[in-house]
Amino acid sequence: DYSVNIYLRQQWYDPRLRFNKSEISDNKDCVKLEDKIWEKLWVPDVFFRNEKKADFHHVTIPNRFINLYPDGKLWYVMKISATLSCMMQLQKYPLDTQICPMMLESFGHTMQTVIFKWLVNKSVESTDELSMPQFMLKGYPTKDCSKNYTTGSYPCLQVDFILQRDIGYFIIQVYIPTILQVILSWVAFWINAEAIPARVSLGLLTVLTMTTQSSGAGQSLPRVSYIKAIDVWMSVCLIFVFASLLEFAVVNVYSRKDTNSVKPAGNGDAGVAEAAENFGVRSSLRLHDQEQQQQQQQYQIPKILPVNSGGAQTPGSGRNRIFYSDGAGAAAESTMLLLSNEKSPPPKQQQQPESAGQQSSNSAKLTSAQIMSTNTARKIDKISRRLFPLMFLIFNVIYWVMYVVVK
């Protein structure tokens, strides 16, 4: 519905009220009749056919009057505030243009008794200062709306107010914020696929924000069963934001595919090294192996010479005293180690590690699978950087042409 304040002006002729202009002392063109005289005269029984509520104005006096002319013409003016129904079509909301009618019909007289006609000049006028916060008045064409009922055909006049919705508010509050949110979701395409918390947080933030804004945009509207233009816009923007989140899920699957594609093979240190490479610490393990080799070389026992003090081996006692050469021909006694003549049990045979060729082959397979998966994930991101903006641009062209250009 919509509300209006109008001055309803009516004109008709009543030959019973004719008088001579010379009989008036002031020689006026018309005579203003006293208040409430309309209760004693015949006046048209006009009512608003699409009225919900209407009132006369009585402050400070009743806002209506009647002028009588010598030829019997009566000019009846009243000020009315009315709330009228307007069956709006919201398929293009908020890019819509509404036509709200005002229908003036006779309540009790058929067209055989009364005929309604619009005045020839300026039948409908509006003030120059007319301003509405959400609409612009584009025109007010008039037409006849006479209708046949069971009791006859009743006269009716109709004026259509053409109201175009001002889109400035929605551009600032709806369209620009949602466009920025969609663009913000594309920032994830430039973030490294390994930064999982950053990309997930960005995707969820844009999805939740878009959902909240979509529900808030339709709170002030009636719950109609058809799809509105703003519903199409918010739904497609939500799809774009959600698609960017799903794109990261696909990228994450490809970036992690190398972990399950090649399983660690072999035993001992080789198997541990390959498992460590699968978790991305291959360089750290290599550094640790180098440090162990350096420590073994630093603390390696020098060459041992089994000689006695006179240069011959001492028999008998079951133990030999061990001497080592200092490299200059002199022998020095060492108490650092005693060896038994008894045979010590052989050391447990350790499992032989994989050959260098097998380790190199597994590493090559692992590196190749990792590179292929990483390249696929990066390729998906690169394609998304161009595909998403292009699709959103095409959607904008179709949307604005359909709802703004096409009438």
pLDDT in tens, 27-43: 778 888 988 888 899 99
For residue 265, pLDDT beyond 50: no
Kindly report, residue by residue over 122-143, the tens digit of the pLDDT.
889 988 888 888 899 999 999 9
Report how far residue 221's alpha carbon sits from residue 218's, in angstroms, rounded to the nearest whole number.
Answer: 5
| Percent of the chain with pLDDT strictly greater than 70 | 70
Q: What is the mean predicted confidence (pLDDT) over 207-227?
A: 82
Q: Tell me which H or E stretch contains 167.
A: none
Q: What is the pLDDT of residue 25?
A: 65
Which region among 35-49, 58-72, 175-189, 307-321 has the lowest average model confidence (pLDDT)? 307-321
DSSP 242-293: HHHHHHHHHHHHHHTHHHHHS---SSHHHHHHHHHHHTT-HHHHHHHHHHHH
Q: What is the mean predicted confidence (pLDDT) over 208-224?
A: 80
Q: What is the pLDDT of residue 279?
A: 41
Cα of 324 vs its chain's centroid, Å: 83
Q: What is the pLDDT of residue 195?
A: 82
Q: Are 88 and 144 in contact (CB under 8 A)?
A: no
For residue 309, pLDDT beyond 60: no
Q: What is the mean predicted confidence (pLDDT) over 383-400?
A: 94
For residue 101, pLDDT beyond 50: yes
Nearest to 67 by CA among 37, 20, 32: 32
Phi-psi region of 266 (alpha: psi -120 to 50; beta: other; left: phi over 0): left
String of b and e for 260-282 (b: at least 16 CB within 10 Å)? Answer: eebebebeeebbebbebbbeeeb
Q: What is the mean predicted confidence (pLDDT) over 42-71?
A: 92
Phi-psi region of 377 (alpha: psi -120 to 50; beta: other; left: phi over 0): alpha
Mean of all residue pLDDT scores within the chain: 77
| Percent of the chain with pLDDT strictly greater than 90 | 40
Dig out the tokens for 260 from the structure: 């399950």
Domain 169-261+375-405, CATH 1.20.120.140 — does that match? Answer: no
Cα of 353 vs its chain's centroid, Å: 58
Looking at the chain, which residues constitute the CATH 2.70.170.10 domain(s)?
Answer: 2-165
Tokens 């002729």 locate to 13
Looking at the chain, which residues constitute the CATH 1.20.58.390 domain(s)?
Answer: 169-261+375-405
For residue 264, pLDDT beyond 90: no
Nearest to 213 by CA among 173, 172, 165: 173
Domain 2-165, CATH 2.70.170.10 — does that match? Answer: yes
Q: Are 156 and 143 in contact (CB under 8 A)?
A: no
Q: What is the pLDDT of residue 400?
A: 94
